[in-house]
């Protein structure tokens, strides 16, 4: 099944493929933010697959002009075909540019290319992310690459596109893709956790600055995905685990929460309900407040205490 067809499955009753008219009506209902309107321009990094591709598809279906930034010309070309098939104006409203978001010069080149093609940007989704394994004493190159893409990619994108978006004088969105691992910081991949914790802190500071900038119509939002089946999380699995959401489900939830005005877009999935996420996050900050051992949720002396806390006892 094509990605565009997969998108249709989440717009109504489970398993129902929607007609173009039904799809347009659903998207109009789910995209009330003034920046998400026909004729606006969206840039999505990491847009050739996963959450980025799902978001770009939704934007294109709503009539936005879309620029996909990612690595791999073949991947970008295939993704562009998917986006063009979903866009009312077809390929005319889609562009791609191979971009390493960890390199400032390439992000600047991306901004210039989008400005030349579409005139400016209204929606920036800093979504590119990688997750090679790391450890506290692991290879420096793994740390450097993860931080370059996951954290510096967000900073570069914001600093390069943001000022022009503000000057544009139109409603706009900067959506940064974080992770629950940037909040609860579980053991296993500290470089990834550090990068996503940094995205959280940066996006909070960004939103504070935006809302205190006179005349600014741009708002920032932190997307916190749950268990999503993508190329990054597949780990060799060909089929989606029962507990995972699709990228399309995650993006549909994101759009609903943007409608509600959420800054923290905390996504559930079919494995972890929001209530349990909240308990895990509360326990994590409790380590600091109560001076417990670091990452006490995974400490054998606190296993029963956390189990009771998670159960609300």
Catalytic residue, chosen from 192, 227, 283, 306, is: 192
- Annotated catalytic residue 264: no
**Tokens 């009506």 sit on residue:** 25
Which SS3 state, helix, strand or coil, does residue 281 take? helix
Asked if 270 and 226 count as a contact pair (C-beta separation under 8 A), the reply is: no
Which SS3 state, helix, strand or coil, does residue 285 take? helix
- The rounded distance, in Å, linking the Cα atoms of 231 and 50 is 7
The token duo for 76 is 């970008």
The token duo for 71 is 């690595």
- The rounded distance, in Å, linking the Cα atoms of 121 and 119 is 7
- The rounded distance, in Å, linking the Cα atoms of 276 and 82 is 36
Asked if 241 and 269 count as a contact pair (C-beta separation under 8 A), the reply is: no
Residues classed as catalytic: 192
């Amino acid at each position: 099944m094509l990605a565009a067809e997969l998108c249709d499955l989440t717009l109504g009753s489970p398993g129902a493929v929607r007609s173009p008219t039904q799809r347009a009506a659903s998207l109009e209902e789910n995209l009330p933010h003034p920046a998400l309107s026909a004729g606006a321009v969206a840039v999505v990094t990491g847009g050739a697959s996963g959450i980025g591709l799902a978001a770009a598809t939704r934007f294109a279906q709503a009539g936005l002009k879309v620029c996909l930034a990612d690595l791999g010309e073949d991947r970008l070309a295939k993704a562009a075909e998917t986006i063009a098939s979903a866009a009312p104006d077809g390929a005319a409203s889609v562009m791609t540019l191979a971009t390493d978001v960890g390199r400032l010069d390439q992000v600047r080149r991306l901004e210039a290319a989008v400005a030349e093609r579409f005139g400016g940007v209204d929606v920036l989704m800093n979504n590119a992310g990688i997750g090679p394994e790391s450890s506290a004493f692991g290879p420096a190159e793994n740390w450097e690459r993860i931080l370059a893409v996951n954290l510096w990619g967000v900073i570069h994108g914001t600093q390069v596109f943001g000022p022009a978006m503000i000057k544009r004088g139109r409603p706009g969105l900067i959506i940064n893709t974080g992770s629950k691992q940037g909040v609860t910081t579980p053991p296993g991949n500290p470089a990834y956790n550090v990068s996503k914790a940094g995205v959280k802190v940066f996006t909070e500071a960004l939103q504070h600055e935006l809302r205190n900038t006179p005349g600014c119509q741009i708002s920032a939002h932190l997307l916190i995905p749950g268990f999503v089946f993508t190329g990054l999380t597949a780990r060799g699995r060909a089929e989606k685990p029962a507990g995972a959401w699709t990228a399309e489900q995650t993006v549909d939830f994101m759009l609903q929460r943007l409608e509600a005005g959420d800054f923290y877009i905390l996504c559930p999935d079919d494995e972890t309900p929001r209530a349990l996420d909240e308990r895990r996050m509360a326990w994590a900050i409790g380590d600091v407040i109560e001076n417990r051992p670091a990452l006490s949720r995974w400490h054998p002396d606190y296993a029963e205490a956390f189990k009771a806390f998670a159960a609300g006892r």
